[in-house]
C-alpha cells in the first residue's frame, strides 16, 4: 500500500490516541487523589504520632493509609478522617481535588490558617468536622451550596474574620443545604441575625450556635418545619423577645438551652409537651412563670455523650 495512503489512515488514529491521553490527564483520577493527599502531608508541620512518616508512604496504597478510605468500585478517596491526632499544619487548596470525598473530619487537632475556598468543589461531601482547631478568616460562599452536606461543625475555632459576603454573619445561603442534619458552630465568631430559613430545613436534628454574638428574635413558627430537631443550643448570645409557644411542636427535642440571652415574657406552657426532653436551661434571662430547674453538670455531660455530641469543655 502506498505510504501516503498509510499516512492518512494512521494520522487520525494517532490524533485520537493523543486526544484520549490528554483527556485522561485532565480528568480527576486515583493519581489526582494521591497528589492531593501528598500535598496535605507536606503541609503538616508536627505529627507526634508519626502517622505520616510511618504509614503515609509509597510502600502502601493511599486507600490503606490511616484515616483514608476509598470506594470499593472506583477506588477514589471517599473519607479523610483524622480527629484527635494532635496534628499541626494548614489545609492546602488541593484537598478540593478529592472530588469523591464524602467525609472530612479533622477535628480536635491544631490546624491553623484559612479554610480553602476549593472545599466548595467537593459536591459529594456529607460531613465536614473541623471543630476544635485554630482556623480563622472566611468561609467561602460555595460551602453553602454543597447540597448533600448533612453535618457541618466548625465550632471552637477563631473564625472571627469575614464569613461569606457579610462580616461575621451566617449567610442566607445556608437555606440551600436541604439535607443538613447538624449545624454545629458554637463559639465560631458569628455575628448578627440568625437567617430564618435555617428553621425551614426539615432534616435538621441539631442547631448549635451557642457562645456567638447573635441577636434578634426567634420566629413564631419556630418548630413548624423542624420535625426531627433533637438539640437546640442558642445560649450565650444576645437574642431577645419571647420564646415562641411553637417550641412545643419540636416533639423529638432532647436538649434545649436558651440561657444567657435577653428573652422576656412567660415560659411557654407548651414546653411541657416535650416528653423526650432530657436537658433544659433557660436561666439568665428575664423570664416569668413556672420555674424550671437547670440540670446539674454531670447529667448535662451524660446527655451530650448519649447524643454523640462533642463537649464544649
- Per CATH, the architecture of 26-306 is what? Alpha-Beta Horseshoe (3.80)
The mean-pLDDT minimum among 21-25, 32-36, 159-163 falls in 21-25
Which residues are CB-neighbours of 275 under 8 A, at least 6 positions away? 251
Indicate whether 162 pLDDT > 80: no
Across the range 144-163, mean pLDDT stands at 76
Which of 17-26, 170-179, 284-293, 297-306 is the most confident on average? 170-179
440551600: which residue's cell?
Answer: 176
Alpha-carbon distance of 255 to 48, in angstroms, equals 37
The per-residue pLDDT of the chain, averaged, comes to 82
Indicate whether 301 pLDDT > 70: no
Domain ranges of the chain: 26-306
Q: Which of 160, 220, 217 is nearest to 191 (CA)?
A: 160
Chain mean position to CA 159: 14
**Percent of the chain clearing pLDDT 90 (strictly above):** 53
Kindly state the cell numbers that stand for 42: 507536606
The more confidently predicted of residues 7 and 37 is 37
pLDDT at 47: 96
For the stretch 210-261, pLDDT in tens is 999 999 999 999 999 999 999 999 999 999 999 999 999 999 999 999 999 9
The more confidently predicted of residues 93 and 18 is 93
CA distances 211 to 253, 256, 289, 302, Å, are: 20, 14, 26, 21
Q: Which residues pair with 182 in a beta bridge?
A: 151, 206
Indicate whether 153 pLDDT > 60: yes
Amino acid at each position: 500500500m502506498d505510504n501516503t495512503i498509510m499516512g492518512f489512515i494512521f494520522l487520525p488514529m494517532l490524533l485520537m490516541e493523543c486526544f484520549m491521553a490528554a483527556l485522561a490527564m485532565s480528568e480527576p483520577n486515583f493519581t489526582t487523589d494521591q497528589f492531593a493527599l501528598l500535598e496535605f502531608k507536606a503541609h503538616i508541620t508536627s505529627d507526634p504520632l508519626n502517622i505520616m512518616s510511618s504509614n503515609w508512604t509509597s510502600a502502601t496504597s493511599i486507600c490503606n493509609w490511616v484515616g483514608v478510605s476509598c470506594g470499593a468500585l472506583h477506588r477514589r478517596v471517599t473519607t479523610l478522617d483524622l480527629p484527635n491526632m494532635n496534628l499541626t499544619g494548614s489545609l492546602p487548596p488541593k484537598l478540593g481535588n478529592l472530588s469523591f470525598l464524602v467525609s472530612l473530619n479533622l477535628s480536635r487537632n491544631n490546624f491553623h490558617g484559612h479554610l480553602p475556598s476549593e472545599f466548595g468543589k467537593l459536591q459529594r461531601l456529607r460531613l465536614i468536622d473541623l471543630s476544635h482547631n485554630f482556623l480563622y478568616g472566611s468561609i467561602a460562599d460555595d460551602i453553602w451550596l454543597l447540597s448533600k452536606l448533612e453535618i457541618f461543625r466548625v465550632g471552637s475555632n477563631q473564625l472571627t474574620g469575614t464569613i461569606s459576603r457579610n462580616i461575621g454573619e451566617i449567610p442566607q445561603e445556608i437555606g440551600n443545604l436541604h439535607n443538613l442534619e447538624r449545624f454545629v458552630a458554637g463559639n465560631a465568631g458569628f455575628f448578627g441575625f440568625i437567617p430564618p430559613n435555617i428553621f425551614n430545613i426539615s432534616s435538621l436534628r441539631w442547631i448549635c450556635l451557642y457562645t456567638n454574638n447573635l441577636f434578634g428574635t426567634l420566629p413564631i413558627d419556630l418548630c413548624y418545619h423542624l420535625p426531627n430537631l433533637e438539640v437546640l443550643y442558642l445560649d450565650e448570645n444576645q437574642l431577645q423577645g419571647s420564646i415562641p409557644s411553637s417550641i412545643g411542636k419540636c416533639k423529638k427535642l432532647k436538649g434545649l438551652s436558651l440561657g444567657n440571652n435577653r428573652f422576656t415574657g412567660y415560659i411557654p406552657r407548651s414546653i411541657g409537651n416535650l416528653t423526650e426532653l432530657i436537658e433544659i436551661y433557660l436561666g439568665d434571662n428575664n423570664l416569668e412563670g413556672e420555674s424550671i430547674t437547670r440540670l446539674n453538670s454531670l447529667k448535662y455531660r451524660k446527655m451530650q455523650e448519649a447524643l454523640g455530641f462533642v463537649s464544649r469543655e
